[in-house]
Amino acid sequence: MSIDDIATKVSKWFQDSGQSCEIIISSRIRLARNLSNHLFTTHCSNREKEIIVSKLREAILKTSIGSISEYVDISSASQLQKELLIERHLISTHLCKGQGPRAAIISKDEVFTAMLNEEDHLRMQAILPGLQLKECWELINRIDTEIEKQVSFAFDQHLGYLTACPTNVGTGIRVSLMLHLPALKMTNQIEKLLNATKEMKLAVRGLFGEGTDALGDFFQISNQITLGIKEEQIIEKLAENLIPKIVEYELVARDHLLKHQNNLLEDKVYRAKGILENARLISSKEALFLLSNLRLGINLGKIKDVAISTINELFMLTQPAHLQKNAGMSLSPSERDELRAKIIRNKLNMRKP
Amino acid sequence: MSIDDIATKVSKWFQDSGQSCEIIISSRIRLARNLSNHLFTTHCSNREKEIIVSKLREAILKTSIGSISEYVDISSASQLQKELLIERHLISTHLCKGQGPRAAIISKDEVFTAMLNEEDHLRMQAILPGLQLKECWELINRIDTEIEKQVSFAFDQHLGYLTACPTNVGTGIRVSLMLHLPALKMTNQIEKLLNATKEMKLAVRGLFGEGTDALGDFFQISNQITLGIKEEQIIEKLAENLIPKIVEYELVARDHLLKHQNNLLEDKVYRAKGILENARLISSKEALFLLSNLRLGINLGKIKDVAISTINELFMLTQPAHLQKNAGMSLSPSERDELRAKIIRNKLNMRKP
């Protein structure tokens, strides 16, 4: 993988496989770690940041994932490169907006990412399509162990791993799933879901995590508690209890729509198709909404001549940075809207005789 | 013609012929007359209204248009029949909502209508497609003369024809044109047009005349002044001066859009096409907007596989009363939206291989 190559492809985590993949887009686990004997990133000098990056880079590249990973110096990366990685959910805006030495190490299949000098010295994530929390955990836990053999992490016997923000102290784990819940949205049950998840100590966020709105019926659901509970327990509770319940709610809502509001459902789905196939200007926000509706239509068997893989490709490749990277030039918002509409239109009309 | 037959056909006045028909949908002239020696309709007893209807019916059916016209007793007509005639712009809601004996006489080609006991004893209209004010005037003036040979109209040497509302006194003429002005709307110049027409003593109304909004970029423009000016002068001023100016403004605006905002224009047009071809529920208001955009696309050469006659047919036949009349049953609003979408979809997709 090279940053310059990825923009034409769909990330592995967005390729609709794994359990319940018609509702669960992806599973993600991240761990927050800090080197002992160093100040937290916020209090570091650039010199100290450089040492942290250097130590972690060396350690990570020596792990079993190191040989298939690429090191990206974020402090020298272009704005477009950074936005591309954000759009692929590989790095955070926090890392991009930071100051001084900071980097990312990304495996070629994009399943594993390590961010160096983000809020914590090290933030690692494993991301896979569908419900694959255990697989994510196996991977990230293995790499974490391999790294810990080489460096010393800040750890307290009583508290566990120490982190820059107290909400991450303990396991430093954040388990999150990206869910596609259009039927709960259409049947006005999202509020109910939000209340339920709050009671279950889960956080619900938008497509790009903290501080972003839920766009196009996509929701990120993650654990809030990192302290006083084992990683495996958090994962098991989510994977075997809470998430299957939400999936079940969505399935019931879809069934209800099919039985009692089929017209409304078909109108939504076919309108989306009609606009996507015909519009000449589409904003990224509108694309997300319309592709979300089309995805629902495919999953409910209403649309048979469009593949989910086509939808995923359009979702990913029509994002602003992807568009510009693949066009090989900087584009104004209206030029992007035009190109986005053209790509979507051509792709969807391609399947026609 | 029988009321029961017309619902499947497009009125002659809506068939895109005549001068400037890509912008001027129709030309219409109406005359207001009252029988002398009778109270105005508002002050009549039902007995007197009956006499008025009877006198006028006899006189009109004896004119040269009488033999190809049908008498419709509005006081005994069903709600659906009345709505059907309103949707075809043949009678007014005022006539339908009235009390006591009242009627309409409608020529088989729907070009001529007489309403008996509307606001005035007699309101006649001639309506033709495109800019055909002179043709309308020739027809209605001839019939008016033929009627006046048989009955005596309330007439004052100084004021002219007397009418129930003083705004019609004098000639009793209202000359109006229905214009399709999507480019002026898109380029935010409608306000400017409204101000200009006000100065020219013209009134601008919506699709169904007084008190209705302009829907889907359709505007009715008519003279305000009926007193102290000859009918021919009013018509000539409109036909040769004012209306061609408005048509010119619209053409300039269309040209501007083609040259400078082609993307925005195509987006509007193709989106409309995409939605009309795919939606499963369309309200009559939305249909009007979308068909209006599609009409613009056809007139600008963007859409080549849909005929204007198809648009006109869909405009007319998907109106609520038309839908129900042709379905042979009463339909709820949501059933109508469903049927409307189906008719539009089938018609637009028919042309495909």
pLDDT (0 to 100) of residue B258: 96
- What rounded mean pLDDT belongs to chain B? 91
> Is residue B267 less than 8 Å (CB to CB) from chain A?
yes
Cβ distance of B267 and A275 shorter than 8 Å: no
Q: Which residues of B touch A336 (CB under 8 A)?
A: none
B189's tokens: 């110049």
Give the Cα separation of A13 and A128 in Å (integer).
Answer: 4
Q: Which residues of B touch A263 (CB under 8 A)?
A: 280-281, 334, 338
Tell me, letter by letter, the H, E, C secondary structure of chain A. CCHHHHCCCCCHHHCCCCECCCCEEEEEEEEEECECCCCCHHHCCHHHHHHHHHHHHHHHHCCCCHHHEEEEEHHHCCHHHHHHHHHCCCCCHHHHHCCCCCEEEEECCCCEEEEECCCCCEEEEEEEECECHHHHHHHHHHHHHHHHCCCCECEECCCEECCCCHHHCECCEEEEEEEECHHHHHCCCHHHHHHHHHHCCEEEEECCECCCCCCCCEEEEEECCCCCCCHHHHHHHHHHHHHHHHHHHHHHHHHHHHHHCHHHHHHHHHHHHHHHHHCCCCCHHHHHHHHHHHHHHHHCCCCCCCCHHHHHHHHHHCCHHHHHHHHCCCCCHHHHHHHHHHHHHHHHHHCCC
> Is residue B338 less than 8 Å (CB to CB) from chain A?
yes
The CA-to-CA distance between both ends of chain A, in Å, stands at 35
Residue B160: phi and psi, rounded to 5, are 95, -145
What residue type is assigned to position B78 of the chain? S
For residue B123, the 8-state DSSP code is: E
Burial A237-253 (b: 16+ CB within 10 A, else e): bbbeebbeebbebbeeb
The alpha carbons of chain A give a radius of gyration, in whole angstroms, of: 21
List A123's β-bridge partners, or say none: A32, A115
* Each residue's pLDDT tens digit, B258-287: 999 999 999 999 999 999 999 999 999 999
Task: Write the residue in B271, B280, B281 that is nearest to A275 by C-beta.
Answer: B271
Residue A60 to chain B, least CA–CA distance (Å): 49
Q: Give residue A353's pLDDT band: very low, low, confident or very high (50, 70, 90).
A: very low
Give the Cα separation of B61 and B150 in Å (integer).
Answer: 11
Give the Cα separation of B189 and B204 in Å (integer).
Answer: 14
* Each residue's pLDDT tens digit, A275-334: 999 999 999 999 999 999 999 999 999 999 999 989 999 999 999 999 999 999 999 999
Residue B223 to chain A, least CA–CA distance (Å): 40
Higher-confidence residue of B178 and A194: namely B178
Q: Which residues of A touch B275 (CB under 8 A)?
A: 271, 274-275
pLDDT (0 to 100) of residue B46: 96
Q: Which residues of B touch A264 (CB under 8 A)?
A: 281
B265's tokens: 């224009």
> Is residue B149 less than 8 Å (CB to CB) from chain A?
no
Cβ distance of B281 and A274 shorter than 8 Å: no
Residue A177 to chain B, least CA–CA distance (Å): 33
Of A145, A139, A147, A162, the closest CA to residue A33 belongs to A162
Residue A179: phi and psi, rounded to 5, are -115, 145
> Is residue B271 less than 8 Å (CB to CB) from chain A?
yes
Q: Which residues of A touch B278 (CB under 8 A)?
A: 270-271, 273-274
Q: Which helix (H) or strand (E) covers residue B350, if one does?
A: helix B333-350
- What rounded mean pLDDT belongs to chain A? 91
Residue B179: phi and psi, rounded to 5, are -115, 145
Q: Which residues of A touch B273 (CB under 8 A)?
A: 274, 278
* Each residue's pLDDT tens digit, A239-262: 988 899 999 999 999 999 999 999
Q: Which residues of A touch B277 (CB under 8 A)?
A: 274
What is the residue whose two structure tokens read 């949205």? Answer: A185
Q: Give residue A21's pLDDT band: very low, low, confident or very high (50, 70, 90).
A: confident
- Ranges of chain B whose pLDDT falls below 50: 353
Give the Cα separation of B161 and B342 in Å (integer).
Answer: 49
Dihedral of alpha carbons B139, B142, B144, B150, sign: negative
Task: Write the residue in B273, B278, B341 that is nearest to A273 by C-beta.
Answer: B278
CB pairs under 8 A between A and B: 50
* DSSP strands (E only) in chain B: 24-33, 69-73, 103-107, 112-116, 122-129, 155-156, 160-161, 173-180, 202-205, 218-223
Q: Give residue A100's pLDDT band: very low, low, confident or very high (50, 70, 90).
A: very high
Check if the interface score ipTM surpasses 0.90: no
The pTM of the full predicted model, rounded to 2 decimals, is: 0.89
Residue of A nearest to B282 (CA): A267
Q: Give residue A3's pLDDT band: very low, low, confident or very high (50, 70, 90).
A: low
Cβ distance of B280 and A273 shorter than 8 Å: no
3-class SS at B295? helix
Residue of B nearest to A271 (CA): B279
A26's tokens: 């992806």
pLDDT (0 to 100) of residue A326: 94
pLDDT (0 to 100) of residue B353: 44
Residue A266 to chain B, least CA–CA distance (Å): 6
Q: Give residue A20's pLDDT band: very low, low, confident or very high (50, 70, 90).
A: confident
For residue B279, the 8-state DSSP code is: -
List B112's β-bridge partners, or say none: B126
> Is residue A270 less than 8 Å (CB to CB) from chain B?
yes
> Is residue B333 less than 8 Å (CB to CB) from chain A?
no
Indicate whether A211 pLDDT > 80.
no
Cβ distance of A275 and B273 shorter than 8 Å: no
What residue type is assigned to position A214 of the chain? A
pLDDT (0 to 100) of residue B8: 87
Residue A308 to chain B, least CA–CA distance (Å): 20
A286's tokens: 């509108």
Of A290, A249, A269, A16, the closest CA to residue A129 belongs to A16
List A204's β-bridge partners, or say none: A221
Cβ distance of B274 and A270 shorter than 8 Å: no
pLDDT (0 to 100) of residue A204: 85
List B222's β-bridge partners, or say none: B176, B203
Q: Is A185 exposed, middle or buried (0-12, 13-18, 19+ CB in 10 A)?
A: buried
Percent helix, strand and coil across chain B, each rounded to 5? Answer: 50, 20, 30
| CB atoms near residue A80 (< 10 Å) | 16
